[in-house]
Amino acid sequence: MGHELKFMKILVIGGGGREHALVWKLAQSPRVTGLYCAPGNAGIGRHATCVPLSATDLPGLQTFAQEKAIDLTVVGPEAPLALGIADLFRRSKLKIFGPTRNAAKIEASKSFAKNLMVRQGIPTAESRTFDGVGPAFTYIENRTPPVVVKADGLAQGKGVVVAGTRQEARDAVSRMLEHQALGEAGRQVVIEEYLQGEELTLMAFVDGKTVVPMLAAQDHKRIGEGDTGSNTGGMGAYAPAPLATPALRDEIMRNVLQPAVEGLSRLGSPFYGVLYAGLMVKDGTPYVLEFNARFGDPETQVVLPLLNTDLLDVLEAVVDHRLDQIHLEWSEQSAVCVVMASGGYPGRSTSGVPITGLPSPRLDHAAVFHAGTALKCHDVVTAGGRVLGVTAWGPSLKTAHDRAYEVAKPIKFAGQYFRTDIAGRALAERNG
Ligand code: AMP
Ligand code: GLY
């Protein structure tokens, strides 16, 4: 932009594939002079200094940011936002990218999000909120299955049950409300209408007022091939999603993102950060399944490699409320991310398993983002359910797809699992 470069020290909070993509992108900025990540992981450690602080250790993170004179903190996951990290940092005059606790309720409380959507006329599944089993059962009796039962609070992807029968719906309700299987998150449940269609993610940068959308992406949430089996944190993604025509993106901006941002401002809780709309496109109309108050994972792993603008310029414009001055430049390419997971995921999975066949970190057209890894005596080992996000890009979705699976091929760890059909539907539709 011609003005003098302002150099900055950055702290990224989190330690998954999303944070690796953020750190990888920020490391490309000529303005970043120091890059830290708390807690980070083995892959992140190649671009940033990992700090052994948990993402929810708010006082520890605040002290670290003050001691290191961090110029900007970027929050990856939802948990610290829901705990109020942005409020704490702002009170201490520390710049932070992420919404306040009140604005983050759009993700942390499904009933809050539903009320906001109804008030703002945002299309979403019809729903009711319950804190007692009796009224919830009566409601289920009067609905035709399938119905969707959702825990009100944050449940790491385990809070949503698509119930094919009334019995399944009642079981989900009693697990959450009576047996407190999800703890505090399941003290209230939202029961909603089942929507059939195609899922789409549209994330946008928001500075309280201006909304700047990213490329639309599609995430594969189910564990099994052909989008079957249990929900996970996400088994792969691709961008841009061909489903998102310019007209559909405009409609999502106009009918979903902008009214949500206006609604939060009206409540006195303006939103700063990334607003994520998880949508179901039914007969061409986008309905909101959920909002998230942060970058999506794995969507971020396919969206950021396609961003040509310096990410730091964008994050800073959000924090300084001058997003209206930013124009995002996107590559014309497509990207595909294949998540490699540990056996047993999304249930209990093993950790500490050695990973072999990792490519050199300096790949052309690809990056292996680490989601759950650690270093054990200089060897990279697994550390969690989702282990790696093998991401590649190219001039077509097909090239990106083929490259991602090629990079994944030599990577081995005992019990590894990945889906072989990421972006499959979009590729088939293109050909057919
Ligand atoms: P959520 O965390 O609310 O996005 O829900 C997780 C997943 O459950 C979504 O990605 C959908 O696949 C599915 N889902 C949620 N709500 C609905 C709905 N109303 N109709 C159909 N599927 C849904
Ligand atoms: N990909 C879904 C999420 O980030 O919540």
* Angstrom distance (rounded) from CA 40 to CA 15: 4
Task: Mention every residue, 6+ apart, whose C-beta is less than 8 A from residue 21.
Answer: 300, 301, 304, 305, 367, 369, 389, 391
Alpha-helical segments (H) within 27-67: 58-67
Residues 6+ away with beta carbon under 8 Å from 349: 341, 342, 343, 384, 385, 415
**Residue 209 Cα, ligand 1 centroid: separation in angstroms?**
28
3-class secondary structure for 272-310?
A: EEEEEEEEEEECCEEEEEEEECCCCCCHHHHHHHHECCC
Q: How far is the CA of 326 from the centre of ligand 1 (A)?
A: 33
- The CATH architecture assigned to 132-187 reads 2-Layer Sandwich (3.30)
Mean pLDDT of 121-142: 96
| Residue 409, burial from CB neighbour count under 10 angstroms (0-12, 13-18, 19+) | exposed
- The predicted model gives 319-346 an average pLDDT of 97
Q: pLDDT tens, 169-214? A: 999 999 999 999 999 999 999 999 999 999 999 999 999 999 999 9
Q: Which of 328, 95, 64 is nearest to 210 (CA)?
A: 328
Segment 75-80 shows an average pLDDT of 98
Torsion of CA 215, 420, 353, 378, to 10 degrees: -50
**Residue 317 is encoded by which pair of tokens?**
């414009």
> What is the pLDDT, as a whole number, of residue 174?
96
Rounded average pLDDT over 318-336 = 97
Ligand closest to the CA atom of residue 200 = 1
Question: What is the mean pLDDT of the segment spanning 143-172?
Answer: 93
Q: What is the DSSP string of 108-167?
A: H-HHHHHHHHHHHT--B--EEEESSHHHHHHHHHTSPSPEEEEESS--TT-SEEEESSHH
Measured at the CA of 139, the angle between CA 286 and CA 107, to 5 degrees, comes to 45
The closest residue, in CA terms, to atom 9 on ligand 1 is 289
Q: In what order do the strands lie in the sheet with 379-383?
A: 351-354, 379-383, 373-376
Q: What is the pLDDT of residue 238?
A: 98
Q: What is the mean pLDDT of residues 131-147?
A: 96
Judge contact between 11 and 74, C-beta under 8 A. yes
The percentage of the chain sitting over the pLDDT mark of 70, rounded to a whole number, equals 99
Q: Count CA atoms within 13 Å of residue 152 on its CB side.
A: 19
Q: How far separated are the first and last CA of the chain, in Å rounded?
A: 44
Which one, of 279, 282, 272, lies nearest residue 256 by Cα?
279
Domain extent listing, the chain: 8-100, 132-187
Is any atom of ligand 1 closer than 6 Å to the C-beta of 195? yes
Higher pLDDT, 70 or 3: 70
How many Å lie between the centroid of ligand 1 and the Cα of residue 46? Answer: 35
Query: Mean pLDDT score of the chain, rounded to an integer?
Result: 96
CA of 343 to the centre of ligand 1 (A): 24
- Amino acid code (one letter) for 396: S
How many beta carbons lie within 10 A of that of residue 81, not counting itself?
29
277 close to 291: Cβ distance less than 8 angstroms? yes
339, 423 contact by CB (below 8 A): no
Q: Under a CB-based contact definition with an 8 Å cutoff, are residues 429 and 398 in contact?
A: no
Between vectors from CA 39 to CA 38 and to CA 42, what angle results, nearest 5°?
120
CATH fold group of domain 8-100: Rossmann fold (3.40.50)
- Out of 3-17, 105-119, 359-373, the most confident range is 105-119
Nearest alpha-carbon partner for 292 in 149, 167, 156, 390: 156
* Token duo for residue 294: 């942060």
Assessment of whether the complete model's pTM goes beyond 0.85? yes
pLDDT (0 to 100) of residue 431: 61
Looking at the CA of residue 290, tell me the nearest atom of ligand 2: 5
The beta strand positions in 196-284, using DSSP E, are 198-207, 211-213, 218-219, 222-224, 228-231, 236-239, 272-282
Residue type, 41: N
Closest-approaching ligand to the CA atom of 234: 2
- Average pLDDT on 68-81 reads 98
pLDDT, residue 430, reads 66
pLDDT of res. 362: 82
Q: Whose CA is nearest to atom 5 of ligand 2?
A: 296
Q: How confident is the model at residue 429 (pLDDT cuts 50, 70, 90)?
A: confident
Mean pLDDT of 261-279: 98
What's the CA angle centered on 333, arms 282 and 48, to 5 degrees? Answer: 105
Residue 202 CA to ligand 2 center (angstroms) comes to 11
| pLDDT for residue 432 is more than 60 | no
